[in-house]
Structure 1
């Protein structure tokens, strides 16, 4: 369910190492990832919506952004508590319009997404100060359908990485959180397109414990299993 809202503030400072500021064009996320921390903290929690169903569109985001941008001199992250290219972006195009404003003002941008929709905006991303990090958490689309039901398929994401690289866009991959996978298979596919990969563990495993039990994945919540995956990737990449 889509809700249209008005806001007073859009740009926030962030402690995420890859940027100084963060912009979230939406509250909530139609990807509905079962493990996502954003459903329990920050603005979505106060909205009392259902995660994966309710998305709040910041209708006046571009107007607010233009007023605030003069103070944001460092790198800007799109986004931290939603995917900037989630399904509603097809209609509202807030991310595209905000990126156009930022890039026209010579700001450096880092985009974090698990959506192939980012390819729609290649015309404004090419030859600009932009890094795109595509989140790819598994090689198994059956796992994706359970844990990331509204997100692009794994093959679509790998193809997205390929096309971004071919277009000359600075692209990287984030394997986070590490989901059940065949690490050799995923690493061998990705090594064709990226040189470095970063990782994260399941920070809030209790969000998904019941799901993992249902599918007999509980061993993937163990630290040893996560370390095993990282070691496999080290054979292919410089791991961050």
Structure 2
């Protein structure tokens, strides 16, 4: 059954004073929203009926100024719809210590160098910022944050995008509508594709696309738009919230691959480095449910820490083996930028002094090189003990530059490999 929004004018009200309904393809009312449905109600109806509901030019009204929503929009903290003019004038709201607002980003889908890791050719980020606040996250050091200091200051009072990572989040609520428009003008067949990225679109590289309900709603709508246009999608998250979209994943079949980032099963370590993210076992259990529902899945075993020995790595891989993943991506931690110093501080604050000392020692490039090479080899060697784990290693450019001879050639070979997954062409 296909559904769409419909509005009926209130005869006792003004022109834009209308009742909003959801009707099927024969015009029968299947759901009544009343006069002012919230964005949450509208997006949840998509999930309830398994259909995309485009919110542009549907007679929906801005809760602030009363104008019709025909182009960009957002919502306030209570979910009331706002036209873009009103949303742009909103001050950030505090949500349990998280500064929340609308993201003015104009881009919808961006080309990405993550094809170098065989992840994707394009990325979609459903928000700017991330509530997880992972200490090792590289995103605050990228142009997406560093070149937007003025915007982040205006929209969320951010003074230091790196140090405040985890305390601000700007949502891109109208992203599905803009994606729909873009896909009509630029079909996937015409996109540029690389051999390693294979035209895959990833959600998300700069934020967790399932970190909360609002982000999850944007994600579902975007994934629906993409797979409906035969675009292969990769989802990477740390949140079991992804299970809310099991129906969509099952329906999408080969067009969706879903992965979890699980760097360790040491709860204390993960809590120190990823202070607001769900525990690792919750992530594993979510992947287990995907496995039972035959949804394509992968694991990001990244970053691994210098205190992790062969026994701990083997144990983690044994848990991954039980999931039957198509691939396990692996990357050792890289001591770069201000985020690395934040990792050292987090380890010290958590009482993990050995980890803090090991991390700090890696500021010496030779020590870091020795650790990184050891872990790449160790993970790959341990994986050979399982008949259903394929490792795709991510040696960084820094590591390649720090090596020579046969070791450099080996690392370059790993960098050029294509992950073993099969994606629609």
> Please, what TM-score do these two structures have when normalized by structure 1?
0.90
Residue 96 (structure 1) aligns with: 220
Shift of 1:33: 0.3
Query: How do 1:123-162 and structure 2 match up within 5 A?
Result: 123-128=247-252, 129-162=255-288
Q: Check if 1:34 corresponds to 2:135.
A: yes
Residues 1:198 and 2:337 are matched in the alignment: no
| SS of residue paired to 2:178 | helix
SS in 2 for 1:126: helix
1:219 lines up with 2:390 in the alignment: no
- Residue 4 of structure 1: how far off its partner (Å): 1.5
Displacement, 1:151? 1.2
Question: How far does the alpha carbon of each residue in 1:80-120 deviate from its partner, in whole angstroms, 9 at most, with x for none?
Answer: 11111112x44771111111111222211111111111111
Matched, 1:66 2:66: no
Structure 2 CA distance, aligned partners of 1:145 and 1:166? 28
Distance between the aligned counterparts of 1:142 and 1:72, measured in 2? 46
C-alpha change, 1:198 and 1:5, in structure 2 (3 Å) is closer
Inter-partner Cα distance in structure 2 for 1:43 and 1:138: 28
Aligned to 1:239: 391
Match in the other structure for 1:22: 123
8 Å CA contact 1:127–1:168 kept in 2: the answer is: no
Whether 1:189 and 2:315 are equivalent positions in the alignment is: no
Report the secondary structure of 1:200's partner residue.
strand
Residue matched to 1:43: 144
1:173 maps to which residue? 299
Q: Measure, in 1, the Cα distance between the counterparts of 2:250 and 2:319.
A: 24
Q: Any gaps of 5 or more consecutive residues in structure 1?
A: none
C-alpha displacement of 1:211: 3.1
User: Could you say which residue in structure 1 is the equivalent of 2:241?
Assistant: 117
C-alpha separation in 2, matches of 1:91 and 1:34: 21
Unmatched tracts of structure 2, length 5 or more:
1-98, 159-163, 189-198, 363-367, 393-425
Question: Is the deviation greater in 53-62 or in 215-224?
Answer: 215-224
**Number of the residue aligned with 1:54:** 168
The secondary structure found in structure 2 opposite 1:65 is helix
Report which stretch shifted further, 45-54 or 147-156: 45-54
DSSP 3-state at the match of 1:177: strand
Alpha-carbon deviation of 1:204? Answer: 3.6
Higher relative contact order (CA 8 A, sep 6+): 1
1:94 alignment partner, SS class = helix
Residue-by-residue CA offset, 1:145-202 (whole Å, 9 max, x unaligned): 1001111111111101111111111101111111354212212212111253110121
Query: Given that residues 272 and 347 in structure 2 are in contact (C-alpha distance below 8 angstroms), is that contact kept between their aligned partners in structure 1?
Result: no
Considering only CA atoms, is the larger Rg found in Structure 1 or Structure 2? 2
RMSD: 2.1
